Structure 1
C-alpha cells in the first residue's frame, strides 16, 4: 500500500483551521502522514451561540387611553442572528393605581392566529399577593418577572418597565418547563385598570 495524497479542508475557519496537513516522503518506498494539526479558535471566553428553539418575530404595544397611560418605548432588538430581546416602558399618569386586571390569551397560527389552550382573566393585585393560587397565570408571569419591576402587588405608583426579555427565557419555559409543539405563536394581553381596558400588548414568536 502506498499513500498518494491527503486533503484537509476546514468548513468553518472562524471555528477551526488546519495549521498544517501534509504527506512526507522519506524515500521512494517510504511515505507517511507526518502530522495533522487542527487549531481550535478561541472565542475569548464567550459561549458558542446555539440558535434557540424560540425566536421573537414581532411585538405590538397599543395604548387605548393615553390620558391614563402610554408607552414611552416598546421595541424588539436583534443583537445578532441568535440573540434578540425586547424592552418596554409604560408611563402611568394617574397614580397610584389600586385596581388591575389582566386578560391573557395564547394563540397559534392555523390559517391565521386562533385561540390555543389558554385564555384567562385574573385580578393582578390579588394574584401578586398569592402567586401559587393561579398556576396558569404564574407560568406566563414568570416569562418576564425577572426583568420587570411588576413584581409586587398594588398599588402601583411608578412607571412599569420590562428590560431586555431575551429569547433564552421564553425558550426555556416553552421547551423545558411546559413543552409546546412547533409553530407560530402570539401572546396577547389586555390590561385593565378600574375595569377599563387601558392597553394591549402582543408578542409574536416562532418555536422550531
Structure 2
C-alpha cells in the first residue's frame, strides 16, 4: 500500500466521520417534545405583605395547561426586594439542577436585564403579565400563560419532572414563594 492510498483512506475516513456526526446532530435536532405545567403553589410568608387571590392551573386541552396568578401587595417593605430563582429536577425528591440565581434587587434587574436565564423566563411572559418595570404595580397579574415551548430551543432539558421555585424576600425575610412544577416528554 502506498503513501497516497493511506492518505486518501484517512481523508475518506475523516469525511465519513464528519458526515456521520452531521447526520447525528440533525437527528438530535429533530427531537420534539411535550412540555406542560403539572402543579403550582403560591405561598405567602408574610400575610401583611401580600395576599394571593388566584394561583391556579387550567387544563385547556389534553397537553395544554395555562397558569394564572394574582397577588395583591398590601405594603412595600422599606428595603430592597430580592429574588431567588431555582431550577430543580425530580430524582428522589426535587434536587438542584443547573440554575440557582440570586438577584439582590428586583427593580435593578428589571432595569438592566442582566441575567440570561432570568431573561428567558421573564421574556416568555410577554404580554401576559403587568410586571415589566419598576415601580411594580400593587396588583401583580399573570393570566392564561402557557408553557413556552420555544424556551426549550434555548435551554435544552432532558425528559423529566422539574420545578421552578421563585422566592421573593426583603431584609432576609421570605415574603412570597411561587413553586411551578412542569414535565417534559421527548418524542421523535
Q: TM-score, normalised by structure 2?
A: 0.75
Q: Which structure 2 residue ranges, 5 or more long, are not aligned?
A: 1-31
Bigger-Rg structure (1/2)? 1
Q: Does 1:162 align with 2:142?
A: yes
* 1:102 and 2:83 correspond: yes
Matched, 1:148 2:129: yes
Report whether the alignment pairs 1:172 with 2:150. yes
Q: Separation in 1 of the partners of 2:78 and 2:146?
A: 28
Out of 120, 132, 137, which is 2:118 matched to?
137
Of 102, 105, 108, 1:126 maps to 108
TM norm structure 1: 0.68
Confirm or deny: 8 A CA contact 1:100 1:193 kept in the other structure.
Answer: yes
**Partner deviation per Cα, 1:8-30 (whole Å, 9 max, x = no partner):** xxxxxxxxxxxxxxxxxxxxxxx
Written as runs of structure 1 = structure 2, the 5 A alignment for 1:51-90 is 53-90=34-71
Unaligned runs of 5+ in 1: 1-50
Runs of 4+ in 1 over 6 A off after TM superposition: none
More helix by share: 2
**Which one has a larger percent strand, Structure 1 or Structure 2?**
1
- Asked if structure 1 preserves the Cα contact closer than 8 Å seen for 2:65 and 2:146, the reply is yes
RMSD: 2.0
Assess if the C-alpha contact under 8 Å between 1:84 and 1:166 holds in 2: yes
Q: Which residue is 2:5 aligned to?
A: none
State how far apart, in whole Å, the 2-side matches of 1:66 and 1:90 are. Answer: 11
- Kindly indicate whether structure 1 or structure 2 has the higher relative contact order, using CA contacts under 8 Å at least 6 residues apart: 2
CA apart distance, 1:194: 4.7
